Amino acid sequence: MAAHRSGAATPEQTVARSFARIRARGDAAIFISLREEAEAVAEARALAGKADLPLYGVPVAVKDNIDAAGMPTTAACPAFAYKPGRDSTAVARLRAAGAIVIGKTNLDQFATGLVGVRSPYGIPKNTIKEELVPGGSSSGSAVAVAAGLVPLALGTDTAGSGRVPAGLNNIVGLKPSLGLVSTYGVVPACRTLDCVSVFALTVDAAWAALTAMAGPDVSDPYSRSRLLGAPGAMPSTKLGVPRPGQRLFFGDRAFEAAYNAALDRLAKLGYAIVEIDIEPFYETARLLYDGPWVAERTIAAGSLLASDPEAIHPVTREIILSGLRPTAIDAFRAFYKLEELRRVADVTFRDVDALVLPTAPTAYTVQQVLLDPIQLNSRLGSYTNFVNLLDMCGLALPAAFTDAGIPFGITLLAPGGQDARLAGIGRVFYADTKLKLGALNEPQPPLA
């Protein structure tokens, strides 16, 4: 991020513009709570003389399962709400870099879902086609960025929540390596798999936010000391793709064609496309909800589940209750199986540098998901659910629009610690996509 430029909007002007755009948007389901505008503008004004900060005056929205001092954390469940005494580490580091928190965004309750419809605070409207789901669980954060209300937003990602909403709203979603960004002050979904994600309009903007937040944190036992590096050119990069017979689109020929076109573009950009056996990755994905990891979600909401189960969204409650079923024996069997699958994944990455997959296999309307909430949600996670179990990093990118005007995106995936490699590839592909499609989203309010 560049420092404030002469003639550019001041931080307080930029923050005020965010609030004006939120009012003009008129979608009450995007934010669960907003700061007082005067307070946020005053904080921006106090940055005077600090234009060298990397996120100088940049407005940021925060998913409402991440603590931000002065605002309640609800996890989209009013009965669960509490007011934190301090910022989460991720938010504290963004503030230290000059960012201004605008408000807390809506989500699938307890970050359980990929659809964005499981919240008592409403359903944020998809920015491309209102009848489509916005994607979840980080629905409000993705929509806030895609609608031009803020240039950056934080989400979380356990099973795809930082990638699917990005794909469905035609923006960038960065899912860092596990432990790279502290999860201190984040309401757990699956604590061993959770990470803080970033939504942005460009790869460079997402990378700037990641750079500000990354680093070990003694407050988080799952924090890791991982070198971040810097994005750069990656010559002779091999990208793994599923064999044609293993590609899942659930009958969506438009998404299938868009994926093939994206692969053709990558090949023309100089990347080698290598077909791989993706079945072990699908098998890993099935462990997430069919295996014992769902019990971690039960732990996170356990007290409320015991005291007031009716306060939990019915679909979310059904999923959380299923976490009571696995036994310790089931858990150890799943751990053994996961280690086997991790070795298979390691072998795959001897032959390729990264994977390139559809972010989602198709897109559904709100009405379709409300009628079939579990199965359709599960389908949206076909290419995302295995990623954190295998300790991989990911970068979701806009790629195309179908003839029906539905956004299609791809996601780059690599072993943990290779975030910079993905950003380097992502920059190249994003620039090519922008040439093909023109302006991807209105880049306002600008990053100072």
Mean of all residue pLDDT scores within the chain: 94
Residue 412: beta bridge partners? 356, 395
Q: What is the pLDDT of residue 257?
A: 98
What distance in Å separates the CA atoms of residue 342 and residue 392, rounded to the nearest whole number?
11
Q: What is the pLDDT of residue 332?
A: 97
What distance in Å separates the CA atoms of residue 182 and residue 294, rounded to the nearest whole number?
22
Q: How many domains does the chain have?
A: 1
Q: What is the pLDDT of residue 233?
A: 67
Q: What is the pLDDT of residue 440?
A: 56
> Looking at the annotation, which residues are catalytic?
63, 137, 161
Task: Tell me the two tokens of residue 231.
Answer: 């994005």
Q: What is the pLDDT of residue 438?
A: 65
Q: What is the pLDDT of residue 441?
A: 57
Task: Tell me the two tokens of residue 103.
Answer: 């408000």
pLDDT at 339 over 70: yes
Confidence of residue 448 (pLDDT cuts 50, 70, 90): very low
Q: What is the pLDDT of residue 4?
A: 46
pLDDT in tens, 26-64: 999 999 999 999 999 999 999 999 999 999 999 999 999
Confidence of residue 234 (pLDDT cuts 50, 70, 90): low
CB 295 within 8 A of CB 288: no
Q: What is the CATH number of the domain that holds 18?
A: 3.90.1300.10
Nearest residue to 146 via CA among 207, 208, 220, 202: 202
pLDDT at 3 over 50: no
Q: What is the pLDDT of residue 443?
A: 42
**Taking residues 85-110, what's their average pLDDT?**
98
Phi and psi for 130 in degrees, rounded to 5?
Answer: -60, -25
**Taking residues 153-166, what's their average pLDDT?**
98
pLDDT in tens, 62-81: 999 999 999 999 999 999 99
The boundaries of the domain holding residue 383 are 1-448
Q: What is the pLDDT of residue 8?
A: 79
C-alpha separations of 329 from 154, 320, 332, 333, 342 in Å: 36, 19, 5, 6, 20
The residue with greater pLDDT, 200 or 232, is 200
**Edge-to-edge strand order for the sheet containing 59-63?**
31-34, 100-105, 59-63, 152-156, 196-200, 172-175, 392-401, 407-415, 354-358, 238-242, 272-276
pLDDT at 447 over 70: no
CB 448 within 8 A of CB 295: no
Residues 6+ apart with CB under 8 A from 196: 66, 88, 90, 154, 155, 156, 157, 176, 181, 182, 183, 186, 213
**3-class SS at 152?**
strand
